[in-house]
Amino acid sequence: MFLKENLVILHVFLLFYMDENLPRLMKFATLLPNNWLVETPQPLALMRLGRQSAEREWISEINWNVFLIKKLQANSLFFELKGSNRDISDSFIRSVI
């Protein structure tokens, strides 16, 4: 699993840096789930898939027609005001966006 070079690097790290970083590492280790070393972390995969499906569900609930209607209204107002007074239309578009 680990190469010999990786083990040497880990050993040097443990020798020189553990004294001052041990409390930080212990805090980090308490945040990890119990099975974080398992080759196929099934609970983590399930958590990830659950989050993705929740995001998909949230995105599917968005009514995209509202954005389209607002965009069309802003464009129509912009072109109506374009001929008469350009400053009013520019300030309105900036306030909408």
Q: Would you say residue 29 lies in a domain?
A: no
Domain of residue 93: give its range: 63-97
User: What residues contact residue 96 under an 8 Å CB cut-off, 6+ apart?
Assistant: 70, 74
Find, among 45, 21, 18, 19, the residue nearest to 33 by Cα.
45
Q: Would you say residue 45 lies in a domain?
A: no
Domain count, the chain: 1
For the segment 22-62, what is each residue's pLDDT rounded down to a tens digit?
666 666 666 666 665 655 555 555 555 566 666 666 666 66
For the segment 56-69, what is each residue's pLDDT rounded down to a tens digit?
666 666 677 777 77
Q: Helix, strand, or coil here: 97?
A: coil
Q: Would you say residue 96 lies in a domain?
A: yes
Q: Would you say residue 95 lies in a domain?
A: yes
Its sign, for the CA torsion 65, 49, 24, 13, is: negative
Find, among 69, 92, 94, the residue nearest to 80 by Cα.
92
Q: Would you say residue 48 lies in a domain?
A: no
Model-level pTM greater than 0.75?
no
Can you give the pLDDT at residue 71? 78
Residue 80 has pLDDT above 70, yes or no: no
Q: Would you say residue 84 lies in a domain?
A: yes
Distance of CA 70 to the CA centre of its chain: 27
